[in-house]
């Protein structure tokens, strides 16, 4: 009686327990610990034990122009990358949603960038972008176009990185939207066609609104990832030239592992966490209203 009834009485607690422990240990603890670190002055270069200093690290980091630049750059990179990826991704999904010869091959090819390792992608694109011996400038000059500096100039480094991100992650949007399109019922489209709607009108007023929640879901996933992009940028530029491609995540990494200012690095990461959190909330709200 004793054991089985204890289990039975506490089923609602016991079943989710493993998941709760997992989340607490591997997700909540690191976040809270980072938050704790952000209130210390832990700095390995000083050789002194960490002390709790309240908001000192916050004051110091948040007033640094370098931090504000990194915030602006994070948004610059994310906004353009995600918009381009969504527009391209949805367009490709709409094209692939029609029957045509070689459709399955096209889908397979589309998957390739997704399965490539970002660091390897970064290294290949670095060769591609090399201003002297790279393919990109070779193609431009053979077409008689002026050559670019790509990732070696302050003004073109972020757009060049966005291009890599778009190349790698547009297929993800396509796949999600494609799945969304496949699950739609044909009836509203048929009805619109019977009513004499043009193809454009069907797309604009029937298909897109119906698939909008899926597009927004894909966008949230991409947005969170793009805000946190690390691998491509780190492998390609390490945040350079100078700090021209230093986003918050790169800055946090540099503060920890190059400057060893652990407390201040935690501040950068807490800021990034909050930004990601707020952006996700905003889009989830938008999604809820789109569903209504």
Residue 6 within binding range of another protein, rule CB under 8 A: no
Residue 151 within binding range of another protein, rule CB under 8 A: yes
Residue 130 within binding range of another protein, rule CB under 8 A: yes
Q: State which residue, 196 or 242, has the beta carbon closest to another protein.
A: 242
Longest dimension (CA), the chain: 86
Q: State which residue, 205 or 257, has the beta carbon closest to another protein.
A: 257
Which member of 11, 133, 143, 194 binds another protein (CB under 8 A)?
Answer: 133
Minimum distance of another protein from residue 257's CB (angstroms): 4
Residue 159 within binding range of another protein, rule CB under 8 A: no
Subset of residues 236 to 265 that bind another protein, contact rule: CB under 8 A: 237, 240-243, 254, 257-261
Which member of 107, 149, 193, 228 binds another protein (CB under 8 A)?
Answer: 149
Minimum distance of another protein from residue 63's CB (angstroms): 14
Q: State which residue, 61 or 157, has the beta carbon closest to another protein.
A: 157
Stretch that binds another protein, among 44-52, 94-102, 178-186, 221-229 (CB under 8 A): 44-52
Which member of 45, 142, 155, 292 binds another protein (CB under 8 A)?
Answer: 45
Burial of 112 (0-12, 13-18, 19+ CB in 10 A): exposed
Residue 34 within binding range of another protein, rule CB under 8 A: no
Residue 12 within binding range of another protein, rule CB under 8 A: no
DSSP the chain: -HHHHHHHHTHHHHTTHHHHHHHIIIIIHHHHHHHHHTTB--BGGGT----B-TTHHHHHHHT-HHHHHHHHHHHHHHHHHHHHHHHHHHHHHHHHTS--TTHHHHHHHHHHHHHS-HHHHHHHHHHHH-TTT-HHHHHHHHTTPPPP-GGGSTTTHHHHHHHHHHHHHHHHHHHHHHHHHHTS-SHHHHHHHHTT--HHHHIIIIIHHHHHHHHHHHHHHHHHHHHT--HHHHHHTTT-STTTT--HHHHHHHHHHTS-BHHHHHHHHHHHHHHHHHHHHHHHHHHHHHH-
Residue 132 within binding range of another protein, rule CB under 8 A: yes
Subset of residues 172 to 191 that bind another protein, contact rule: CB under 8 A: none
Residue 152 within binding range of another protein, rule CB under 8 A: yes
Q: State which residue, 151 or 178, has the beta carbon closest to another protein.
A: 151
Q: Which of 223, 241, 238, 215 is nearest to 74 (CA)?
A: 223
Residue 153 within binding range of another protein, rule CB under 8 A: yes
Q: State which residue, 230 or 259, has the beta carbon closest to another protein.
A: 259
CA atoms within 13 A of residue 206's CA, in its CB half-sphere? 18
* Contacting positions for another protein (CB under 8 A): 43-47, 130-133, 147, 149-153, 157, 237, 240-243, 254, 257-261
């Amino acid at each position: 009686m004793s054991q089985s009834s204890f289990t039975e009485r506490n089923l609602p607690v016991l079943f989710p327990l493993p998941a709760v422990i997992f989340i607490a240990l591997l997700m909540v603890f690191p976040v809270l610990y980072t938050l704790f670190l952000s209130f210390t002055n832990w700095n390995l270069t000083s050789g002194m034990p960490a002390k709790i200093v309240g908001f000192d690290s916050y004051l110091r980091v948040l007033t640094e122009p370098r931090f504000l630049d990194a915030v602006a750059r994070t948004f610059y990179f994310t906004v353009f990358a995600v918009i381009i990826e969504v527009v391209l991704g949805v367009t490709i999904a709409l094209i692939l949603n029609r029957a045509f010869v070689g459709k399955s091959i096209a889908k397979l090819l589309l998957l390739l960038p997704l399965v490539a390792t970002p660091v390897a992608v970064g290294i290949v694109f670095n060769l591609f972008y090399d201003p002297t011996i790279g393919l990109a400038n070779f193609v431009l000059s053979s077409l008689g176009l002026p050559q670019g500096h790509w990732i070696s100039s302050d003004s073109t480094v972020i757009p060049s990185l966005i291009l890599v991100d778009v190349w790698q992650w547009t297929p993800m949007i396509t796949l999600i939207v494609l799945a969304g399109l496949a699950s739609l019922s044909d009836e509203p489209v048929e009805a619109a066609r019977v009513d004499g709607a043009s193809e454009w009108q069907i797309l604009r007023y029937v298909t897109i609104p119906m698939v909008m929640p899926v597009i927004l879901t894909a966008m949230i996933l991409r947005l969170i990832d793009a805000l946190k992009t690390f691998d491509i940028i780190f492998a390609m530029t390490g945040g350079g030239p100078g700090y021209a491609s230093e986003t918050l995540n790169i800055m946090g990494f540099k503060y920890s592992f190059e400057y060893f200012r652990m407390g201040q690095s935690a501040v950068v990461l807490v800021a990034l966490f909050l930004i990601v959190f707020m952006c996700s909330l905003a889009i989830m709200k938008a999604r809820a209203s789109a569903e209504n």
